[in-house]
Amino acid sequence: MNSKRINYQPQLTSVDAILVLTNLPSQASAEQLAQRLVDEKLAACINILAPCTSIYHWQGETERATEFPLLIKTTQARYAALELAILREHPYELPEIIHVPITGGLPAYLNWLTKESFT
């Protein structure tokens, strides 16, 4: 979002917004997936965070990997299509896809998020 303030009037009667979390193995793959999801209006905004170290069990071994977390803001109505798009594009055999309901927030931002997540 740019630095200009946008004045949206609160219109939500209930919050349909969700936060979806996933990780990608590189900055390039994170940017590619984020761009595609926003372009397809499956998400209003995606933050690509700084790389982190993930430690996890996989196929009987303890693994360590550098990953780029994505914070994906969208709506419950777009979740199924978003999940399919992530599964289709994600390079991992079993990607982390976690969906967390957003129970509140700045009404103007939530209205913008809802508006931008519709086709």
Domain 17-116 is in which class?
alpha beta
- pLDDT at res. 15: 72
Report the phi/psi class of residue 41: left, alpha or beta, with left for phi > 0 and alpha for psi in -120 to 50: left
Q: Which residue ranges in the chain fall short of pLDDT 50? A: 10, 12-13
- pLDDT at res. 109: 92
Give the 3-state secondary structure of residue 113: helix
pTM summary value = 0.87
Q: What are the residue boundaries of the structural domains of the chain, listed by start?
A: 17-116
